[in-house]
Amino acid sequence: MAVITTNELKNGMTLDLDDGLFQVIDFQHVKPGKGHAFVRTNLRNLRAGGTVERTFRAAEKVQRANIDKREVQFIYRDGEDYVFMDNESFEQLSVAPATLGDATNFIVDGSNVILLMYGTEIIGTDLPAAVELTVDNTEPGLQGDRSSGGTKPATLETGLSIQVPLFIASGERVKIDTRTGQYLSRA
């Protein structure tokens, strides 16, 4: 692991601190009129999932974690677990839904996912900005119904419920933003 100073922090960087593995969400270098400079950070705990605000002295040394990215393909579900195949070694990995988090709403058979690995531990996923999913169930839109802002609820093939425009019907493919979980367009 590389040792860096807090002056070298960047958003998205992963740190191996004494109390866990953290990803930098936001940081701010502060130099007050009196006293020493410091770095105020917002960190996300990659194992527990919570966020914490932490302050470091300027030029304080911290351990940077080496995160490997493995491209895998989702093949099937084994009970609750998701089974992926490594695209290079063809090794199969079984991953618990809690490890994947909200990414389970966007993973369908055959989709490629990038798993973030710390040693042999899977700490998260890196999804594309948008995915295409099929609408499993939605009510037909009524002509002239604009009281709901022109949207209606729809259930996607992964079980995710979202709001879609009135013209979308069951069986259509739609593009969904993986960061917000909102409808973008027809596919």
What's the CATH number where 19 sits? 2.30.30.30
Q: In the numeric block, which tokens belong to residue 90?
A: 């063809």
Res 187 pLDDT > 70: yes
d(CA 144, CA 6): 57
Handedness of CA 135, 138, 142, 144 (dihedral sign): negative
pLDDT of residue 103: 87
- Please choose, from the candidates 149, 185, 144, 147, the residue with its C-alpha nearest in 3D space to the C-alpha of residue 168: 185
Look up residue 92 and give its amino acid: Q
Res 147 pLDDT > 70: no
**C-alpha 85: how far from its chain's center?**
19
Look up residue 143 and give its amino acid: Q
pLDDT of residue 149: 66
pLDDT of residue 148: 55
Res 146 pLDDT > 70: no
Same domain, 13 and 27: yes
pLDDT of residue 169: 87
What's the CATH number where 95 sits? 2.40.50.140
Q: What is the mean pLDDT of residues 136-158?
A: 77
Q: Which domain holds residue 12?
A: 2-64
